[in-house]
Amino acid sequence: MLILNKTAGVFFKPSKRKIYEYLRSFNFHPGKVFLHKLVLGIETSCDDTAAAVVDETGNVWGEAIHSQTEVHLKTGGIIPPVAQQLHRENIQRIVQEALSVSKISPSELSAIATTIKPGLALSLGVGLSFSLQLVDQLKKPFIPIHHMEAHALTIRLTNKVEFPFLVLLISGGHCLLALVRGVSDFLLLGKSLDIAPGDMLDKVARRLSLIKHPECSTMSGGKAIEHLAKQGNKLHFDFKPPMQRAKNCDFSFSGLQHVVDKTITQKEKEEGIEKGQLLSSAADIAAAVQHTTACHIAKRTHRAILFCKQRNFLSESNAVLVVSGGVASNLYIRKALEIVTNATQCTLLCPPPRLCTDNGVMIAWNGIERLRAGLGILYDTEGIRYEPKCPLGVDISKEVGEAAIKVPPLKMKI
Ligand code: KG4
Ligand code: ZN
């Protein structure tokens, strides 16, 4: 359909959303035949209250987010009751904002999708009870969402990616490698045995008191480490990558965190400063931690690619690795992964940074994916509960370890 652009005096091909808005400006209501499926997504699993309206073609009609990062930075970590209170204070406003930016009436929604697992119990509870009230009021179907499934599928909103593909999810709460065979069909290849990389970077940043650094005071721990690392020399400290002997795709970050902690204590002694003051070697430590983290993540991912290739799990002509989650916005780690994908003839894809961290768009999009596949759409929400702990897919990490694939060394020249 072509519409005359009066100001420019030329014909242009508008997006479907523009056509819809144009028709609406004449009070023309096209109704369900014309309108694409629209899903409202609501996310409150951790420390972001987020909502978005997304259509079937991946158009984002409206989105809103309230981040609690600043509050949690001040308290030195997420305190669940504080997160719960902030979700309660903001959820109504954020959902309202996403709906009003999208200029649709709630009655036009096809469904409401909300994260119900995994995450902080108190945070998940706020999103779920708000959504259930809305579902009841609007008489809409409800689509419960797995937070990690949503992270994994986000790439299909921004890029044309077919199943199967390999996904690496690295954030503050999660760390896993999985083969995505369908909307809700995952094979778990490996996961962190202790903490997630974002959690480790947050702890190191806190131990280095980066909140006191003028350039980093408002950044998340991981972002502060990336920023400071650019000014440091990674060779000044030698932190060994964890689990070098374990030939599986699992991860570990708490050992590295303790080693870094001890090094910081040692440096404080050498520099004659108190805990809580900024170290002159903070940038070098940041650079070395980031490098070791990148090498560890790259090695496990390399093994996962080789395992999938050995089992013919990925397309031979177009094997794709998707990287998402808050830590995926780290460009140094992305470069390390690029070295791996270049060496294994894979395509590396990452959603844009704003879709890598928690957001409402990914939840709404997961709702669209499930709606299209006819999976997990509830017309009766009786008995629905949130689940703080919930693995993703079928765990085959033992089988991956038994394959004991040796990974050829790669030069990590980043
Ligand atoms: O996905 P996300 O928003 O929340 C969940 O944990 O689910 O990820 C937040 C995490 C935090 O630990 C934060 O420090 C980390 O992602 N992060 C980064 C960067 N930006 C955020 N880590 C490394 N480099 C970054 N640029
Ligand atoms: Zn997340």
pLDDT tens digit sequence for 256-281:
999 999 999 999 999 999 999 999 99
Could you tell me the pLDDT band of residue 367, with boundaries at 50, 70 and 90?
very high
pLDDT of residue 20: 59
Q: Which of 357, 359, 390 gets mutated to test ligand 1 (max ligand atoms within 8 A of its CB)?
A: 357
**Ligand showing the shortest atom-to-Cα distance for residue 43:** 2
Q: Is the pLDDT of residue 133 over 60?
A: yes
Domains 38-158+357-373 and 167-354+394-403 share a fold: yes
> Tens digits of per-residue pLDDT, 297-356?
999 999 999 999 999 999 988 999 999 999 999 999 999 999 999 999 999 999 998 999
Domain 38-158+357-373 has CATH 3.40.50.1010: no
Mention every residue, 6+ apart, whose C-beta is less than 8 A from residue 241.
Answer: 292, 295, 296, 299
- Does ligand 1 have an atom closer than 6 angstroms to the CB of 46? yes
pLDDT in tens, 155-185: 999 999 999 999 999 999 899 999 999 999 9
Q: How confident is residue 10, by pLDDT bands cut at 50, 70 and 90?
A: very low
Q: Which H or E run contains 153?
A: helix 147-153
Q: What is the DSSP letter of 192?
A: B
What pLDDT, on the 0 to 100 scale, is given for residue 1?
29
Tell me what the mean pLDDT of segment 373-380 comes to.
97
For residue 227, name the pLDDT band (cuts at 50, 70, 90): very high
Q: Domains of the chain: which residue ranges?
A: 38-158+357-373, 167-354+394-403
CA–centroid distance, 357 to ligand 1, in Å, is 7
3-state SS, residue 402:
helix
Mean pLDDT of 221-247: 96
Q: Which atom of ligand 1 is nearest to the CA of 227?
A: 26
141 lines ligand 1 (CB under 6 A): no
59 three-state secondary structure: coil
Which residue shows structure tokens 């994908």?
A: 341
The CB of 43 under 6 Å from ligand 1? The reply is: no
pLDDT value at position 16? Answer: 59
Given a cut of 70, whether residue 8 has pLDDT beyond it is no
CATH classification of 167-354+394-403 is 3.30.420.40, yes or no? Answer: yes
Kindly tell me if the per-residue pLDDT of 6 is higher than 90. Answer: no
Ligand 1 atom nearest to 329, measured from its CA: 26
**Burial call 246-281: b when 16+ CB within 10 Å, e when fewer:** bebbbbbbeebbebbeebbeebbeeeeeeeeeebeb
Tokens of 98: 């996403």
Instruction: Look at residue 18 in the predicted model and tell me its pLDDT.
Output: 60
pTM assigned to the model:
0.90
Give, using CA atoms, the residue closest to atom 10 of ligand 1: 172
pLDDT at site 48: 93
pLDDT tens per residue, range 391-403: 999 999 999 999 9
Ligand lying closest to the C-alpha of residue 146 = 2
Residue among 154, 223, 292, 296 to mutate when testing ligand 1 (max atoms within 8 A of CB)? 223
